[in-house]
Amino acid sequence: SQTIHQWPATLVQPVGSPLSLECTVEGTSNPNLYWYRQAAGRGLQLLFYSVGIGQISSEVPQNLSASRPQDRQFILSSKKLLLSDSGFYLCACLPGGSPGYGYTFGSGTRLTVV
Amino acid sequence: QQQVKQSPQSLIVQKGGISIINCAYENTAFDYFPWYQQFPGKGPALLIAIRPDVSEKKEGRFTISFNKSAKQFSLHIMDSQPGDSATYFCAAADRGSTLGRLYFGRGTQLTVWP
């Protein structure tokens, strides 16, 4: 089974500072990878997804970007954080691209922009 | 447009009672319906899933009921326990899609009182 590593677990950043969140996957090859954001007490908002190296699709226009430099590495970035970027960021993996196996989620990064 | 509609938003149940969460969908291409359980500060974890060729799937105290004609499915938690207190998300996917995207409901916050 696959394992997702996300770091850091908690982050407090000032408005206007850059951001880099990293997600790495073990136990599978050529997975689909996803970045979700969860506001406090809210649902899961899909931000980006990737079906392969260098292939990134964005779901919502925003202050964030994503990159996939390696098969099992997914990075979420921002050049200048906004207060509205605060939230719980989750990386998810779908092995082999088939939803029939279900997503595996990472443990998340709690980002607070101050 | 919300692809999967989930209700209720919050649910309070006495210990030993039955918790019921309902979801509905419109896209007839959906053929995979998982439920995720999320504890505070953690990523969602796959709890149980069903495919439309069966009307019910049971795993321990958790049961999914599926009504294909009504395009509805529900999660029943029998003999609810305080340890079941969490947020539950239903989801749906088209297994034929290479994007492998899961469409999530907005979540139900379940509280089980001892």
Tens of pLDDT along A46-98?
999 999 999 999 988 678 999 999 999 999 999 999 999 999 999 999 887 66
CB B67 within 8 A of CB B2: no
What is the percentage of chain A residues whose pLDDT exceeds 90? 75
Predicted local distance difference test score (pLDDT) of residue A60: 80
Predicted local distance difference test score (pLDDT) of residue B101: 85
Q: How remote is the C-alpha of A46 from its chain's centroid? A: 9
The rounded distance, in Å, linking the Cα atoms of A104 and A87 is 19
Of A42, A102, A106, the CB nearest to B43: A106
Q: Best interface-test mutation with A: which of B30, B38, B39 has the largest number of A CBs within 10 A?
A: B38
Contact A49 B99 (CB under 8 A): yes
In single-letter form, the type of residue at position A80 comes to: K
Predicted local distance difference test score (pLDDT) of residue A98: 65
Contact A94 B100 (CB under 8 A): yes
Predicted local distance difference test score (pLDDT) of residue A100: 66
Contact B107 A100 (CB under 8 A): no
Contacts of B51 in chain A (CB under 8 A): 100
CB A23 within 8 A of CB A73: yes
Contact A43 B107 (CB under 8 A): yes
Tens of pLDDT along B79-90?
999 999 999 999
The answer on pLDDT for A102 being more than 80 is: no
Q: Which residues pair with A21 in a beta bridge?
A: A76
Confidence class for position A1, pLDDT limits 50, 70, 90: confident
* Buried-exposed string A30-48: b where 16+ CB fall within 10 A, e elsewhere: ebbbbbbbbeeeebbbbbb
For chain B, list residues with pLDDT below 70: none
Q: Quick one: three-class SS letters along A54-94?
A: CEEEECCCCCCEEEEEECCEEEEEECCCCHHHCEEEEEEEE
Contacts of B93 in chain A (CB under 8 A): 99-100
Contact A94 B42 (CB under 8 A): no
Distance from CA of A31 to the nearest CA of B (A): 10
Contact A105 B34 (CB under 8 A): no
Name the token pair of A24: 């790495």
The rounded distance, in Å, linking the Cα atoms of B36 and A102 is 10
